[in-house]
């Protein structure tokens, strides 16, 4: 057990709902492993402006931001990192010299996970989906110098994101005809309880040497099972989740994150659901 005292620095996650969040377990395990006098709690917060005002007035040292507040917190902050501003979403708040800064570590997590398997600069990556995660991953891949093809279900939404990413868009039904060094599923297809569906037919997967699924419930999605059978290098949803959290830990503490401890705490949480 961590010892909580009058000097303990408080961090938290703001969103609605947040009681199911994996972040408290991951960050508290990391703080404890490094012997830091810090604690991380979940704050169900219906209103983004009110939550940021509370972070400010209560002197929280930092926070994670989740659905539905990733966009709405932006005007409430003193500074926003340029990539987070491009993405239009902040998932991390850090207090610096009495100011609140907004950063996005989702793209850092995705890039780190992918770059363990391939050199991103110059590589073509097919992203499935045009939602919040696809957006963060897309802008992140552009930062890394990758070429993107975007494939999604709803044409207007997909075309609008592709235009911002300056990349081609294809309907999801044509994704199987594309060729790329990596495929990233950034849709919620395959997520529990509908875990027996996959966004692409198994026969198409051999065309993608690396396949990353960001869905983490379940970790072994049908897409990843079929990609492994097709000989692809597979990256599960834990990697992005872990590395975005590790980037938060380093921003908040200035220390390297205890990755293995964080990974084990995430796995334990996922197994207990």
Contacting positions for ligand NAP (CB under 6 A): 109, 129-134, 152-154, 157-158, 172, 186-189, 191, 214-216, 237, 240-241, 244
Taking the complex as a whole, how short is the minimal distance between the CB of residue 161 and ligand NAP, in angstroms? 9
Taking the complex as a whole, how short is the minimal distance between the CB of residue 52 and ligand NAP, in angstroms? 21
Taking the complex as a whole, how short is the minimal distance between the CB of residue 99 and ligand NAP, in angstroms? 27
Nearer to ligand NAP, 102 or 190 (CB): 190
Nearer to ligand NAP, 95 or 112 (CB): 112
Taking the complex as a whole, how short is the minimal distance between the CB of residue 180 and ligand NAP, in angstroms? 18
Nearer to ligand NAP, 154 or 255 (CB): 154
The Cα 37–Cα 9 span in angstroms is 6
Nearer to ligand NAP, 95 or 237 (CB): 237
Q: How many Cα atoms sit within 13 Å of 161 on the Cβ side?
A: 29
> What would the DSSP string read from start to end of 193-238?
TSTT--SS-GGGGGG-SEEEE---SSSS-HHHHHHHHTT-EEE-HH
Closest CA to 152 of 184, 112, 197, 180: 184
Strand order in the sheet with 38-44: 38-44, 9-15, 62-65, 92-96, 99-103, 79-80
Residue in the shown chain whose Cβ atom is closest to ligand NAP: 131
Taking the complex as a whole, how short is the minimal distance between the CB of residue 188 and ligand NAP, in angstroms? 4
> What would the DSSP string read from start to end of 131-161?
SHHHHHHHHHHHHTT-EEEEEESSHHHHHHH
- Active-site residue identified among 3, 70, 121, 157: 70
186, 131 contact by CB (below 8 A): yes
70 is catalytic: yes
CA dihedral 130, 136, 138, 140 (to 10 degrees): 180
The Cα 168–Cα 185 span in angstroms is 17
Nearer to ligand NAP, 40 or 216 (CB): 216
Catalytic (active-site) positions: 70
């Amino acid at each position: 057990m961590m010892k909580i005292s009058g000097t303990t620095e408080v961090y938290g996650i703001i969103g609605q709902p947040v009681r199911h969040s994996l972040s408290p377990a991951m960050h508290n395990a990391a703080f404890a492993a490094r012997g830091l006098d810090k604690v991380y709690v979940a704050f169900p917060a219906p209103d983004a402006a009110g939550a940021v005002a509370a972070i400010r007035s209560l002197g929280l040292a930092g926070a994670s931001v989740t659905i539905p507040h990733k966009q709405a917190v932006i005007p409430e902050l003193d500074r926003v990192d340029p990539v987070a501003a491009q993405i239009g979403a902040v998932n991390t708040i850090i207090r610096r010299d009495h100011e609140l800064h907004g950063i996005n570590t989702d793209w850092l997590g995705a890039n780190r996970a992918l770059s363990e398997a391939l050199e991103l600069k110059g590589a073509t990556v097919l992203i499935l989906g045009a939602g919040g995660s696809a957006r963060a991953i897309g802008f992140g891949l552009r930062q890394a110098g990758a070429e993107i093809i975007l494939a999604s279900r709803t044409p207007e939404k997909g075309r609008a994101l592709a235009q911002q990413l300056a990349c081609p868009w294809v309907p999801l039904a044509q994704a199987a005809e594309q060729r790329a060094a990596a495929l990233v599923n950034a849709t919620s297809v395959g997520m529990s309880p509908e875990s027996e569906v996959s966004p692409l037919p198994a026969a198409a997967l051999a065309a993608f040497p690396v396949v990353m699924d960001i869905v983490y419930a379940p970790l072994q999605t049908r897409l990843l099972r079929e990609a492994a059978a097709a000989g692809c290098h597979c990256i599960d949803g834990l990697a992005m989740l872990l590395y975005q959290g590790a980037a938060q830990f380093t921003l908040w503490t200035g220390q390297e994150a205890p990755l293995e401890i964080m990974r084990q705490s995430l796995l334990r949480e996922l197994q207990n659901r």
